[in-house]
A and B are shown apart, each in its own frame.
Chain A
Amino acid sequence: MTKGMSRIDGRLKVTGAARYSAEFTPAGMVYGVLVGSTITKGSIRLIDTKAAERAPGVLKVITWLNSPKIAGYQVEHGKPEPAKGTYKLFYNNKILFNGQPIAVVVADSFERALFAASLVKAQYNADPHHTNLRDNAAKAFAPEGDGTTKRGTEDAWKTAPVKLEQEYIIPSEVHSPMELHAIIAKWDAEDKLTVWTKTQGVQDTRDGIAGIFKLPKENIQVNSKFVGGAFGSALQVWPHEVAAILAAKAVKRPVKLLLGRADMFTSVGYRPYTWQKIGIGATADGKLVGITHEAIGQTSTYEDFNEGPIGVSRSTYACPNVNTIYKLAALDIGSPTWMRGPGEATGAFALESALDELSYELKIDPIELRMKNYASTDPESGKPFSSKFLDEAYKLGAEGINWKDRNAKPASVTKDGWMVGYGMGGGMFGAYRDKAAAKAILMADGTLIIQTAVSDIGPGTGTAMVTIAAGVMGIPADKIRFDMGDSSLPLAPSQGGSATTATVGSAVYQACTDLKEKFQKLIGNGGTDHPDYAAILKQHSLPKLEVTVESSGGTERDKYAFYSWSVHFIKVLVHPATGVVKVDRAVCVADSGSIVSPKTARSQIVGGAIGGIGMALMEETVIDHRYGNIVNNNFADYHVPVNADIPQIEALFVNKPDPHINPMGAKGMGEIALIGMAAAVANAVYNATGKRVRELPITPDKLVGMDLELS
C-alpha cells in the first residue's frame, strides 16, 4: 500500500454523504429541461410551445422568441455583431449545431418538465452543414495564438539521411465524467444570485456569470463543494447554466437543470478531432535533424478553440530545426474545449508515434533514441529547465516493465496464441503556478481551518492541502478542516492545467507558515517547532488567530522553463485472428517534483493512464455526417475502459523537488498522467504486430483489416 494520507472526503463520497451540485433543494425549487435542435445548421422557422405550455405542471417555456434579453450578449448600438464569440443562448433563430438548445421548459417536477420538453415542436429551414474535418481541411485557417512557428531551418527533416513523414489522426472524444453537469440557480433578489453548479472554478464561474448577466461579482455566490469528475468540461459557463439562471428569473423560483448523458456529448465541449502530419529526420546515429509538425483541429463556426497540439514538438527534444503549422477547420458542431492533457495529448500521440517509427528505421532502441536527443535546456526558449529528471524516469519505467524483455523485431513474440509487444511514450506539460490566496485560522480548541475557493474535481485537492498544512503546522490531519468550493472564500484559480497543488498549495503553505510565525512571536524565541497552539491561545486569551495570504510565482518564471514530464511503458497482447488488444501491463512514471500526497498522486496517475488507454483503444465520438448528429451519445456505444480492460497500473515517481517552482517543490501531474499514453499503446501494438495504427482508436476491426501474422 502507498503510504500517506487517505482522502479526507473518501468516507463522504463512498457513503453518499458528499452532496454534488444536483443534490440541493432550495425551497420552491422547480425543474428545467432543455430541448435540442434536431438539425445541424439553418434557422428555426416555427417553434410551437403551446402543447408544452398546456402540459401538467409547466410554468414556462422560454425560446428565442420570448427570452428575456441577456445584457452581456447585447452588442453596443451601431456596432456590428462580432464574427466570432461565445455561443449566445436563445439569442436569435440561428442553428449552429445539432443539439443546440432551442427551448427550456420549466415545470414543477423533473418528469413533467421532461415530458413537456418532448412536446415542443420546431420547424426549421435547414442549410447544408459541414461536420467532417477531413472534407473541410482545405478551408482550415490559421488561428490567433499558437500556430505557425519556426526554429532553425524549415523542413530540415527532409535533408536528413534517415527520415519519415506520416499522418496521425485522433477522433473527437468526450470527457465522460460520472457526474452529469447540473446547476441550481436561485435569485435571492433582483440582482443577487446563488448557484450550485458543477464547476472546476467557483470564482471563474462567478465572474463568467457576472459578465453574461452584467451583475456585480459580489452579488453572485457560486457553490461547488464536490465535483464528480470534469476533465476540462467545467471550465466555463455553458448555455445550460445560462438557461437555468434565465429560467429561475422568469419563474421567480429556484430552478434545477440537469444534463442527460446524451446532452453531455453536445453541451459541454469535447476534445477536437485533429489531423496531424509529422516529418522527422535524423542522422544515421540517431541525432535529430529536424521536425515539421502540422496539425488541423476542429473548432465551431462561432468560436476559435486553439489548444496548440504542436507545442510538444518544440520543447520535448533537443532538435535544432523545428517548424510547426497549426490550423483550425470551422465545423457546424458546438465548440470543443479543454480535455485532460489538452493539446499535448493530441500532439504527443503524433510526436511519440513518429519517434517510435524513427527508432525502428534507425534500428535504435526507442529509449536510447530519446536519450540521444535529451534536452537539458528548453530548446525553444533557451532557458534552463527548472528541473528535469526524465532520464531517471526512463530508467525507473524500463526497469518496471522489464524493457529488456522487449524484442526489437516486431511481430516476433507470441504467448498462448497472443502476440506480445512493448511500447513507450512520453508526455510533457507546462508546470504552472498561478496566483491564489488562503486563509488559515487556528481555533481555540486547537482546530486548524484552511479556506480557499479552490475546487476539487477528483484529484484529492483537499487531501493534498491538508497534508501541506499538517506538515507545516505539525497538527494531525483530523484536527484540520479544509473549506473550499465556495466563491466567497479567498482567491483561487479554476482547477485546470495541472496547476492546483503548485498554486493553491503554495498559498496554503504560506498561510500556515505565516500563522505559525505569529504563534512563534507570541511565545517568543525558544519555542518548540510544533507548539501547543490551543494552550498559547488560552494563555493570551485569544479566541483564535488567523492569517490570510496571497501567493504567486515571481521572477523565477522568467529565468527557467517549467515543465512536468512523464513516460509510460506498456506491454500489450494482441490476438492475431480477432485483432483484440489487451493491455497486459502499464508502468507510468511521473517527474513532477516532490510528491505532496502519495496516495492521491498515485490515483491521479492511474486515472490518467486509464484515460490514455481509453484514448488509445476505444474512445471515439462518431458523427453521421449526413445529418451532423452523434450516433453513439451514450455509455453503451461510446466506450470508456471498464475494469476488465485495465491491468494493475504501476505508478512510479521520481519524487525529486523542483527547486524553483514553489516552497513544496511540487509540479503538476494531472495532464502528464494521460499525455503520451496513447502513443505508448500504439507503439506496443506495433512492436507486437508489425502494424502501425495511426488513426485512433485501435479497435479490433482496424487490426483485422491489416492481416496480422508473425514475421
Chain B
Amino acid sequence: MKQFQYTRALTQQSAIEAIAKPGTKIIAGGTNLIDLMKRGVTAPDKLVDINHLPLKNITATKTGLHIGALALNSVVSENSLVLQKQPLLSMALKAGASPQLRNMATVGGNMMQRTRCSYFYDTTMPCNKRAPGTGCGAMEGINRMHAIFGTSDQCIAVNPSDMSVGLAALDAVAIIAGKKGERRIPFTEFHRLPGDHPELDNHLAAGEMIVGVEIPDNNFAKNSYYLKVRDRQSYAFALVSVAAALEISNGTIKNARLAMGGVAHKPWRLFDAEKALIGKPATEDSFKQAAQIAMQGAKGYQYNSFKLKLAPATITEALKHAAGLA
C-alpha cells in the first residue's frame, strides 16, 4: 500500500477545503475504501477522516425524514422514526453486508461504495472503471453478478448497495455540500450509468461531499418490502433485489414505487412499471404485468442471463409481499 497522510476534519468547512486537493479522499466507516486501498485499486495521497463531524442525526422534518451522512447503517436500520415512516429503508439496510459491517458503514459511505466486480478489484485484469481504456474483463468473462440494464460497451458492473435501492425507490434526495454551499439532487440522479466514463460512479463533483439524505413523507409504510435474492442468507451481494412500495386503497393501487438492485450500474428505478400499477387491483396478475414492463430493454450476458427470469420473478414476489399476498 502506498504511504498516505491522514487528517481528521473538525468542521465540514475544513473537510470541503481538504478534499479540493486532488488525491484526497474522505474516509468515514472505511468498510470499502480500506479494501480498495489494500488491493491497490485506489491509492489516495491523503485521507480526511470526517467521523467527528455532526452528521449523524436522524430527524423528522415538516416534509420528511432527514438522515445525516454519518449515521451508521445499523443505527438507521433500527431507528424508530425510520421503522415507523420508512420501514423499506430499514429492510434494505438489514439485507446488506453483515451486522459487523453495518456497525461501521455510514449512509454517505454506502452511497459511495464501489462495484464488487472482481475484474475491478484485481489489478492484473483489464477494467475500464479502474484503469480507463484497458477494456472490460467481465464483458466476455465471469459476469454472473453483472448488469442487465443500462450497460455500455465499456462496463457492465453493478452498484452493490441495498440501501441505495431503498432510497431510490423512496424518492430520496441527496444533500451535497461543496465550496459554493449545499445542493440537492434526486437520489435516482446521484449515481450514473457507465456510458463512456465507467470510472465515474456518481455525479458528485470534485470537492463535494455528501452531508445527508432526505426522504419525503409518503403513505407506503404499510405496504412495502425489500426482497433480496442471493447465494447465501447473509453477507452476499444481490443476484437481484427489489424494493417495492405500494399505497393501496380498497384493493386498488393508488401509488407505487419500485427499484431494483444487482441489475445496473445504479439503483434501477422502475418508473414505467410503477405507472402501470397505478389504478390496477393489487393482485399477482397486476404485479406480473408490471414486472414484464420493468424488463423492457434488459440484456443478458453469458453467465447472467438467468437474471432475465429472476428479475421479473423477484419483482412479482416483492410486490406480493408488499401487498400482503405472500
- Interface residues in chain A, defined as those with a beta carbon under 8 Å from any beta carbon in chain B: 38, 111, 114-115, 118, 417, 575, 577-580, 582, 617-618, 622, 624, 626-627, 629, 631-632, 636-637, 639, 641-645, 699-702, 704-705, 707
The reply to whether the CB of B118 lies closer than 8 angstroms to some CB of chain A is yes
A631 to B116, CA, bound (A): 11
Give the CA-CA distance A702 to B235 in the complex, in Å.
Answer: 20
When C-beta atoms are compared, the residue in chain A nearest to B317 turns out to be A577
Please tell me which one of the listed residues B231, B317, B326 contacts residue A639 in the complex, with CB atoms under 8 A apart: B231
For the complex, give the distance between the alpha carbons of A395 and B237 in Å: 40
Q: Would you list which residues of chain B between 285 and 326 have a CB under 8 Å from chain A?
A: 306, 309-310, 313-314, 316-317, 326
Chain A residues closer than 8 Å to B232, beta-carbon distance: 617-618, 639, 641-642, 644-645
- Taking each of B2, B140, B235, B326, which has the highest tally of chain A beta carbons within 10 Å of its own beta carbon? B235
Contact B317 A578 (CB under 8 A): yes
Q: How far is the CA of A268 from the CA of B19 in the complex (A)?
A: 43
CB closest residue in chain A, given B312: A577
Does B250 sit at the interface, judged by CB under 8 A? no
Contact assessment for B1 and A631 in the assembled complex, using a CB-CB cutoff below 8 Å: no
Q: Give chain A residues whose Cβ lies under 8 Å from the Cβ of B1.
A: 111, 114-115, 118
Q: A670 to B234, alpha carbons, bound, how many Å?
A: 27
The one of B40, B141, B230 in contact with A631, judged by C-beta atoms closer than 8 angstroms, is: B141
Contacts A118-B40, A639-B232, A700-B229: A624 and B310 contacting too (C-beta < 8 A)? no
Contact of B313 among A114, A578, A641 (CB under 8 A): A578
Contact status A637-B310, CB under 8 Å: no
Q: Is B70 an interface residue (CB 8 A)?
A: no
Name the prevailing secondary structure of the B interface residues. Answer: loop
- A704, B313: Cβ atoms closer than 8 Å: yes
Specify which chain A residues have a CB less than 8 angstroms from the CB of B326 in the assembled complex.
Answer: 417
A114 CA to B39 CA, complexed, in Å:
11
Nearest CB of chain A from residue B175's CB, rounded to whole Å: 30
- Residues of A within 8 Å of B239, CB to CB, are 700-701
Contact flag A618-B231 (CB < 8 Å), given A624-B137, A629-B122: yes
Nearest to B1 among chain A residues (CB) is A115
B203 to chain A, nearest CB (A): 27
* A582 proximity list for chain B (CB < 8 A): 233
- Let me know if B125 is at the binding interface, CB within 8 A: yes
Q: Does B144 contact A (CB under 8 A)?
A: yes
| Chain B neighbourhood of A643, CB < 8 A | 234
Between A and B, 16 residue pairs with Cβ closer than 8 Å are A118-B40, A577-B313, A577-B317, A578-B314, A578-B317, A579-B310, A618-B231, A624-B137, A626-B141, A629-B124, A631-B122, A631-B142, A642-B234, A699-B231, A700-B231, A701-B306
Complex: chain A residue closest to B3, CB-CB: A115
State A44–B195 Cα separation when bound (angstroms).
38
User: In angstroms, how far is the closest chain B Cβ from the Cβ of A127?
Assistant: 17
Q: Is the pair B141, A704 in contact by a Cβ cutoff of 8 Å? A: no
The distance from the CB of A583 to the nearest CB of chain B, in whole angstroms, is 10
Asked if A701 and B310 sit within 8 Å, CB to CB, the answer is yes
The contact string, 1 if C-beta is below 8 Å from chain A, for chain B 218-235, is 000000000101111111
**A577 lies within 8 A of B235 (CB):** no
| Chain B contacts with A in 233-248, Cβ cutoff 8 A | 233-237, 239
Query: What separation, in Å, do the CA atoms of A626 and B125 have in the docked complex?
Result: 11
CA distance A705 to B303 in the complex (A): 12
Chain A residues whose C-beta falls within 8 Å of the C-beta of B144 in the assembled complex: 701
Residues of B within 8 A of A705 (CB): 306, 309
List of 3 A-B pairs having minimum Cβ-Cβ separation, nearest first: A644-B233, A701-B306, A577-B313
Contact check, B313 vs A642: say whether CB atoms are below 8 A apart: no
CB-based contact A636/B122 at 8 Å: no
With A417-B326, A642-B235 as contacts: A622 and B142 at CB distance below 8 Å: yes
* Residue of B227, B232, B237, B316 with most partner-chain A CB within 10 A: B232
Q: How far is the CB of A3 from chain B (nearest CB, A)?
A: 32
The residues of B that contact A641 with a CB separation of less than 8 Å are 232
With both chains docked as a complex, state the minimum distance between the C-beta of B318 and any C-beta of chain A, in angstroms.
10
A580 to B317, CA, bound (A): 12
CA of A637 to CA of B309 in the docked complex: distance in angstroms? Answer: 22
Q: Which residues of B contact A (CB under 8 A)?
A: 1-2, 40, 98, 116, 118-119, 122, 124-125, 137, 140-142, 144, 227, 229-237, 239, 306, 309-310, 313-314, 316-317, 326
- Contact partners of B118 in chain A: CB under 8 A: 631-632, 637
Q: How far is the CB of B56 from chain A (nearest CB, A)?
A: 27
- Establish whether residues B125 and A627, one from each chain, have CB atoms under 8 Å apart when the complex forms: yes
In the complex, are the beta carbons of B116 and A644 less than 8 A apart? Answer: no
B233 contacts which chain A residues (CB < 8 A)? 582, 642, 644-645
Bound state CA distance, A461 and B21, in angstroms?
A: 58
Q: Given the interface contacts A580-B229, A631-B142, does A704 sit within 8 Å of B234 by beta carbon?
A: no
> Roughly how many angstroms separate A618 CA and B229 CA in the complex, as a whole number?
14
Q: Which among A617, A644, A704 has the greatest number of chain B C-beta atoms within 10 A?
A: A704
* Cα distance A707–B312 in the bound complex, in angstroms: 13
Q: Kindly state the separation between the CA atoms of A707 and B125 in the bound complex, as whole angstroms.
A: 35
B321 to chain A, nearest CB (A): 10
Minimum CB–CB distance from A158 to chain B (whole Å) comes to 36
Tell me how far the C-beta of A437 lies from the nearest C-beta in chain B, rounded to whole angstroms: 44
Of A38, A617, A701, which is in contact with the most chain B CB atoms at under 10 Å from its CB? Answer: A701
Contact of A624 among B40, B141, B313 (CB under 8 A): B141
Determine the chain A residues whose CB is within 8 A of the CB of B231 once the complex forms: 617-618, 639, 699-700
Nearest CB in chain B: distance from A302 CB, A: 23
Tell whether A38 pairs with B124 under 8 Å between CB atoms, given A114-B1, A639-B232.
yes
Q: For the complex, what is the distance from the CA of A702 to the CA of B144, rounded to whole Å?
A: 12
Q: B residues within 8 A CB of A115?
A: 1-2
Residues in B neighbouring A707, C-beta threshold 8 A: 309
Beta-carbon contact of B141 and A637 below 8 Å: no
Q: Return chain B residues, CB-CB under 8 Å to A637.
A: 116, 118
Closest to A36 in B: B124
- CA A707 – CA B326 in complex, angstroms? 19
Question: With contacts A114-B1, A631-B122, A642-B233 known, is A626 near B140, CB below 8 A?
Answer: yes
Give chain A nearest CB distance to B34 CB in angstroms: 14
Query: In the bound complex, what is the Cα–Cα distance between A94 and B40 (angstroms)?
Result: 27
* Distance of A641 Cα from B227 Cα, bound (Å): 20
Name the residue on B nearest A118 (C-beta).
Answer: B40
Which one of B118, B237, B316, B317 has the greatest number of beta carbons of chain A within 10 Å? B118
CA distance A702 to B310 in the complex (A): 10
List chain A residues, Cβ under 8 A from B229: 578-580, 700
Structural contact, A700 and B310, CB atoms closer than 8 A: yes
**How many whole Å from B267's CB to the nearest CB in chain A?**
19
Give the residue name and chain of the B residue nearest to A627 (CB).
Answer: B125
Choose from A624, A627, A636, A704 the contact partner of B309 (Cβ within 8 Å): A704
Name the A residues within 8 Å of B116 (CB-CB).
Answer: 636-637
Closest residue of chain B to A115, judged by CB?
Answer: B1
Cα of A575 to Cα of B141 in the assembled complex, Å: 29
Report the Cα distance A637→B239, complex, angstroms. 12
CA distance A578 to B232 in the complex (A): 13
- Least Cβ distance of B162 to chain A in Å? 14
- The residues of A that contact B98 with a CB separation of less than 8 Å are 642
CA distance A705 to B230 in the complex (A): 15
Q: Which among A417, A631, A637, A643 has the greatest number of chain B C-beta atoms within 10 A?
A: A631
CA distance A701 to B314 in the complex (A): 12
Query: Which residue from chain A places its CB closest to the CB of B126 in the assembled complex?
Result: A627
Q: How far is it, in angstroms, between the C-alpha of A408 and the C-alpha of B125 when the chains are bound?
A: 49
Q: How far is the CB of B42 from chain A (nearest CB, A)?
A: 14
Q: How far is the CB of A329 from chain B (nearest CB, A)?
A: 21
* In the complex, residue of chain B having the shortest beta-carbon distance to the beta carbon of A98: B124
Among residues of B, the one whose C-beta sits closest to the C-beta of A705 is: B306
Q: Nearest-CB distance from A426 to chain B (Å)?
A: 26
Distance in angstroms between the alpha carbons of A111 and B306 in the assembled complex: 43
The closest CB in chain B to the CB of A417 belongs to B326
A704–B231 Cα distance when bound, in Å, is 13
**Alpha-carbon distance A302/B325, docked complex (angstroms):** 59
- Once bound together, how far apart are the Cα atoms of A701 and B234, in whole Å? 17
| Complex Cα gap A575–B273 (Å) | 24
- B144 nearest CB across to chain A (Å): 7
Contact B142 A624 (CB under 8 A): yes
Q: What residue in chain B is nearest A614 (Cβ atoms)?
A: B232
Instruction: Give chain B residues whose Cβ lies under 8 Å from the Cβ of A578.
Output: 227, 229, 310, 313-314, 317
